[in-house]
Structure 1
Amino acid sequence: MVLTRRSKYALRALIYLARVRGTGAVLIGEIAEKERIPKKFLEAILLELKNKGILESRRGKGGGYQLAESADKVMVGQIIRLMDGPIAPVRCVSPTAYAPCDDCPNEETCTIRVIMREIRAKICEVVDRTSLSDLVEREEQLRLAANRALSFDI
């Protein structure tokens, strides 16, 4: 499974909105600039997230986008599925978009399917328990660790 650019951009935009939550609605241009996402592409992504109830938008002065609910309620797995569809390294292990593999002689004894099912389960376990709040917190921890690595005493 490869995370699409669409999912990555959606997650980056949502993490940004989670980070600045409480400061009001944020303009698309600000998100695009800060996260280095092409504005036109971001517009389509944010509109879809709004239509799915993840974001709220406001028009006019003070307008822009903000999270529709708290960042600890928005899970990474939810966003990946909204943007890319089912999480599955191969279609024969997807519970919602199952399709047999064209080149598999016997699905019941396929060891590739067995390991792919385990991989899918582990991926889902992580992304379904990780919220936007968790990512904002991890981002801050990484930033602090990077700053400590750069600072030294003489």
Structure 2
Amino acid sequence: MFHATGRIGRIPEEHLNRLLAFGHPVTFASGTRLFEEGGAACEFWLVEAGAVALDLHVPGRHAATVETLGAGELVGWSWLFPPFRWQLGAQAVGAVRALEFDAEAVRAAGERDPAFGRAITLACAQVIAGRLQSSRRRLLELYGPHGFAER
């Protein structure tokens, strides 16, 4: 079972328990593609064990890994925002065990119960903000002023 100590954002326990009730366990073999950039975002996952690489299509080359997510992390947030299309691709790195959620069912529950919907949206926003900050740090380490990373 997923433990609430992961990095999915802060969700009040009552809303976390409600969200977890929507999940069902899945496993992915190493190399399994969870989704492709531009595809319909119909589900999302909370990783229990293993790792998932998020990647970006690079024309004429292999997909570039932009981040690797592990236990306790949310895989996928494009399901929450129209047009519900994946912004990246994702692939299992080794065997992965996760909870899978039907995005439409979670969105519908959030529409019926605005407090639940707000809690889920805020948790996803926290994840997105954290990943944006990580991306900024990586870009600054690569392209920023010399010595920036040491500050």
What TM-score do you get using the length of structure 1 for normalisation?
Answer: 0.30
- Higher RCO structure, 1 or 2 (CA under 8 Å, sep 6+): 2
The structure whose Rg is larger is: 1
Higher relative helix content: 1
What TM-score do you get using the length of structure 2 for normalisation?
Answer: 0.30
Higher relative strand content: 2
